[in-house]
């Protein structure tokens, strides 16, 4: 089996590790939300301006769109930060796929080992199993030696 190269820690992943250490629960309710309503608002403003009979100046358009664009940017940054706080959130999809492959390969290797043990003839275990049902030194069938048991002195 070929050795896989170790994961490299990049500046972004070390920043994410630091963020994860300070954030105790990145999956708090409200950490992630749909961006579609905000994006829909921006598109509606732009559409209204395009369909308007009067000419709208770029400054007027930006006054209406800018607050929604800032809201969208802020929401994306907050969700990105929350995602980086999730264990493994700093890993790229390529690194996750590579780790998944390594773990699946290791799991399959262990399953093969267990199957091999299952199929093996185990004479030592069979002998131990037979000893427990053979006649012991004292003649007991269970193979245990008779030992005198202490009495409490009460008869």
Same structural domain, 62 and 116: no
DSSP one-letter string for 71-114 = HHHHHHHHHHHHHHHSTTTTS-HHHHHHHHHHHHHHHHHHHHHH
- Rounded Cα gap, residues 34 and 134, in angstroms: 71
Query: Is 149 domain-assigned?
Result: no
User: Residues near 45 by Cβ (< 8 Å), separated by ≥ 6?
Assistant: 61, 64, 65, 68
Boundary of a domain, candidates 32, 62, 90: 90
**Domain identity same for 28 and 57:** yes
Do 51 and 97 sit in the same domain of this protein?
no
Query: What confidence tens digit (pLDDT) does each residue in 81-138 have?
Result: 888 888 888 889 999 999 999 999 999 999 999 999 888 877 776 677 776 555 555 5
Residue 155 lies in a domain: no
In a domain, 20, yes or no: yes
From CA 13, how far away is CA 11, in angstroms rounded? 5
Q: Is the pTM of this model over 0.95?
A: no
Say yes or no: 63 and 83 in one domain.
yes
- For residues 43-61, give the mean pLDDT: 79
Domain assignment present for residue 5? The answer is no
In a domain, 148, yes or no: no
């Amino acid at each position: 089996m070929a050795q896989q190269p170790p994961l490299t820690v990049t500046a972004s992943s070390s920043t994410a590790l630091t963020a994860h250490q300070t954030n105790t629960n990145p999956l708090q309710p409200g950490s992630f939300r749909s961006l579609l309503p905000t994006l829909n608002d921006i598109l509606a403003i732009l559409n209204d301006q395009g369909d308007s009979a009067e000419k709208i100046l770029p400054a007027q358009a930006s006054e209406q769109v800018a607050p929604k664009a800032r809201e969208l940017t802020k929401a994306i940054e907050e969700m990105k930060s929350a995602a980086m706080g999730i264990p493994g959130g700093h890993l790229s999809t390529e690194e996750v796929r590579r780790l998944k492959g390594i773990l699946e390969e290791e799991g399959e290797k262990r399953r093969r080992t267990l199957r091999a043990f299952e199929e093996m003839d185990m004479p030592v275990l069979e002998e131990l199993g037979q000893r427990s049902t053979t006649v012991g030194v004292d003649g007991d069938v269970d193979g245990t030696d008779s030992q005198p048991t202490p009495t409490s002195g009460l008869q």
